[in-house]
Amino acid sequence: MVAPGSPGPDSPGRGGGLSAALQQHPVGLVLVAVLSVQFGGALAATLLPLVGVAGSVLLRMLLAAVIMLAVIRPRWSGRSRQDWATVVLFAGALTAMNLCFYASLQRLPIGVAVTIEFLGPLLLAAATSRQVRDLLATDAGIDAANVQILPLNGAPKSLLELSQESLDAIRRPILEPLGRSLEAPCRVALYLFSDGSWVIENFNDRPVTAKLDGQALELEPRGWICRWK
């Protein structure tokens, strides 16, 4: 007999209710997972000179295990041999993946390594999906024009000095599905609204010229132009 509110025999643990609640927001989970993996990977990469590849992986896995145990609080008793075999295989896969990723950081820029790490599982998921729309969406979204690797060279602030050519290449695949285009130097922002209104803002301390949908716009230093409908 199971008391009301307590985990049943098939429940993963006392965190089952939390897991069920989180599953109601799949898009949010994906965004959180992406941020966690990318920022966690970048932070852990700074440990490589101190503890090496194996040490970085060990610290990351231990910290992740502590957090998951505190949040999910899994049930230990009543597990079958197959359950434990699955846990061991999954742990081995995670360890191998992290070892390969951190070893690659000693040979590749982090942007290249992270891009490969992201595209690999995405392509595998699309290839094994039974939904034709998943395969079509992946095929349409992943090509040379939509994948941009930005050179940081150890200085994230260098993104604020990207050339207009580099920025326009990034903007193009984002704005084309919206029927818009923007050609502008760095530190120029475009805000679009669902009713067709827009605001374009210049964060530079000098005047710049931007082209929105082919129309040239002169922007004053720290100024902006808008069109409301």
In terms of Cα–Cα distance, which of 69, 61, 152, 84 is closest to 114? 152
- Residue type (1 letter), 63: L
Multiple choice CATH, 162-227, 2.60.40, 2.40.160, 1.20.1270, 1.10.3470: 2.60.40
Q: Where are the domains of the chain?
A: 16-141, 162-227
pLDDT, tens digit, 9 for 90 and up, residues 123-169: 777 677 666 555 555 554 555 556 666 666 667 777 778 889 988 98
pTM over 0.75: no
Rounded Cα–Cα distance for residues 203 and 191 (Å)? 13
Q: Do residues 68 and 22 lie in contact, with contact meaning Cβ atoms separated by under 8 Å? A: no
pLDDT, tens digit, 9 for 90 and up, residues 44-68: 778 888 888 888 888 888 888 898 8
